[in-house]
Amino acid sequence: MRVLFPYGTHDTITTITSIGFVLFIFINGVQMDFSLITRMGKKAWTIAIIGLVVPILTAVAFLAVLSHPLLEVIDHNYNSFLVALVSHTVISFAVIASLLNELQIQNSELGKLALSAALVSDVLCTFATTIGTVFMFSEGDGTKEIVTNLLGLLAMAIFVPLVCRPVMFWIVRSTPEGRPVKDGYLYVIIVLLFVLGWVSVKINQEFVLGAFILGLAVPEGPPLGAALVKKLNFFGTTFLLPIFVTICMLKADFSSTYSSTSVFAVCLVIILTHLVKILSCILPALYCHMPFRDALSLSLILNSKGVVEIGLYCFLYDYKVIIHLILLYTIMPNTEFLI
């Protein structure tokens, strides 16, 4: 490790490649059709909400039941286990969209339903984790700090859709049909992306939150959305993102040894959570009169993990929210079938 990364260079590379992850999240925000939420039917809402809430409640129940037989492992790291299990219930729109695109079924009825459910779940998860982060990292700073962070979050949530989005629609209207958007407009949006990321950090949020919110505000498709994706896709997704995943994997020390009880506890709880998540997607789909084969396929699609989850687990590990044992056995399966 010291040969590959002399003193100080590891942190520098981590910072630079994290920009790739930020741009990846921004690009996926741009490609999200947020208006889809208002057009989707009861089926997508039912599957998304039940598929999110039931696994979380079940994860808490699992820990309560297993904390007695596995007292030494779980009780001493209860919060770490809880956060890890909740993170396993997250459905990432970016991962699902990439998988459907790879399978070439994004325009099928099953693909559209999966995208709709993933969009609802992703937005709900982002909202819940954002509020939770405010309280988690402001715990020792008092009520004043919590209120300040919440007001900052509210201000950003108001500023982007009410100020930035109308300006972007003005850019679209002022661009002649068939002509590309002026580069100056694109550079202003890219600078604003990093400014909002900086604001996110100041209110105790992850840098990617500002990028994600701004991405949702960008009108999808040509001329503006397509131009931003074309401008950032190679540098962010093709070049920096694979290096970011490599840096994340370096944090998982595969030479570490743990007791069989600890490994069993981690694997058991994670496997049970995923099984419940599969069932919680299948049952509402069957209730909505979907064929069993389609319901099973949908649940497996919504249970997919990828680069977003790898980034999430590494961020949690960097902030010492989860322990290395949990990082190791959650990140390892993701790299085998990376989406």
Q: Is the peptide bond before 223 cis (omega within 30 degrees of 0)?
A: yes
Within a domain: 4? no
Within a domain: 1? no
CATH of residue 53: 1.20.1530.20
Number of domains composing the chain: 1
Within a domain: 70? yes
184's tokens: 């100056």
Exposed/middle/buried for residue 65 (C-beta within 10 Å: 0-12, 13-18, 19+): exposed
Each residue's pLDDT expressed in tens, for the chain with a length of 339 residues: 555 555 555 567 777 778 888 888 888 888 877 666 666 677 788 888 888 888 888 877 877 776 665 655 655 666 777 777 777 788 888 888 888 888 888 778 888 888 888 888 888 877 777 777 766 665 555 677 777 778 888 888 888 888 888 898 898 888 888 788 888 888 999 999 999 988 888 887 778 888 888 888 888 778 888 888 888 888 888 888 888 888 877 777 777 777 777 777 778 777 888 888 888 889 888 888 888 898 898 888 888 888 888 888 888 787 777 777 777 777 766 555 454
> Could you give phi then psi for residue 264, rounded to 5 degrees?
-60, -40
Within a domain: 3? no
How many other C-beta atoms lie within 10 A of the C-beta of residue 181? 21
Within a domain: 2? no
Within a domain: 100? yes
> Could you give phi then psi for residue 175, rounded to 5 degrees?
-90, 120
CA–CA distance, 59 with 237 (Å, rounded to integer)? 33
Domain hosting residue 62, numbered range: 9-336
